[in-house]
Structure 1
Amino acid sequence: METPYGSAPMPIWERPEPRPRVAPVPLSREKIAATAIRLADAHGLDGLSLRRIAKELGVGPMRLYDYVTNRSELLDLMVDAVYAQIAEAGRRSEWRATVLAIARETRTAALDHEWFSDLLGGRPHLGPHALAVGESTAAALSQAPGVHDIDDLQRALGALNAFIIGALRREITERRTARSTGTDEPAFQASLGPYLTRMLNTGRYPTVARLVIDGAHLNAEETFNHNLTTILDGITSRPHT
């Protein structure tokens, strides 16, 4: 379906759904997205396809193309369904509480749906729920004491998003690695401990040695919250230049 402005296809958000059919199985974009999310939660994005979703729904693959034309549109629907969960957190009366709630709910969503972290920071998320989260975040940050104009707001959003994306991708990657390899602290120490001890004993890496020897194994949630508040403290205290 083309837009009135040229040959570019109309975004899935603006295309009407096909007229529902009772037989053999009633479908909707919401139902397709929910099934895709369930499969991605269980098997990841690599094993996700319209054919597999169709099999799960008990319909022919071609029928799904009435609702989504390709994999990219399917991912758009899935992502926006997750953003619907995050959007609920953006209803706070104070700017800092709003940003904290959105960031924490984004982490919760990524832990519930690990594939979601793979899609952060790439293709822009422009579905209605994603835009609602973006609006809530931007509106909240625009009220921060250290944000004086649109340039400040862009930088604040950039810093916040870079932190959230980086933190979540690292946490999810570490969790996947531990799950797939069975890596734990005793196993690591047995396999690489002697090598690391020899390297640190050279004295060339004194700060790394302190981190390894004296550093505690930090709780992921506490670390996320600590670093998040540090980011917001920096935004708040930024002077007008």
Structure 2
Amino acid sequence: MPWFATGTPTILTKLVKKFNMEPETFSTGFEASLGMFDAPTETARNPIPMLYQSGYLTIKKFDGYEYTLAFPNEEVRVGFCGSLIPHYAFDDVVANDTFILAFTRAMREGKIEDALIRMRAFLSSIPYNAEHKDENHYKTLFFLIFKLCTPYVVRTEECSAAGRADAVVETANAVYVFEFKLSGNATAEDALKQIDDKGYLIPYTVTQAADGTPKKLFKIGVSFDEEKRTIGEWIVA
């Protein structure tokens, strides 16, 4: 059994939320000075010292001035992301796992519509009295969900020449570019238009599958219904 499977300390996941650490940054690593990641946990101003001292983060690079801390391997990264789900959704582990399995199956079979329907149902099941949900909260949930659907490549705020796509999911045979909007600010059509206007798909037009054939490219504009607190509408093109 992996060492992290015995349970991620609740205090760690609470600290990640308290200090508004974006789980996405765990994929790229954290820049740190010696004093930052080796500081006493009781006086720490962010979760990095505790994450490092508990073994969840390790030193990946040192350039003589700055350290880069990251998860030691993919297994630990996935385990930690899984432990964060209850703190962004709910504590029913069985329900969370059931959703992840069904969602992963839909993605594996290329059924993006089914996957989004399942995500809408999942998000709508989060208790209404939970803390206020905004666009970043939903993007964080999206990221965590997809990270549990390994071996998919998931990136958020992905840079291109013209801007940043909210999320990019790359599977063995396809690339999905997502743009999110809150219903009070814009529509799914607006999100899709931004993908086109900014050319978010262009960097992936030369991406190939293992057999050398071009990967299928999809753009997905998503609007979150702020009143219902879940996905409202989406367009897949």
**Band of TM-score, shorter chain:** 0.3 to 0.5
User: Structure 1 or 2: larger helix share?
Assistant: 1
**TM-score, normalising length: structure 2:** 0.33
| Higher relative contact order, chain-length normalized (CA < 8 Å, sep 6+) | 1
**TM-score, normalising length: structure 1:** 0.32
User: Structure 1 or 2: larger strand share?
Assistant: 2
The structure with more radius of gyration: 1
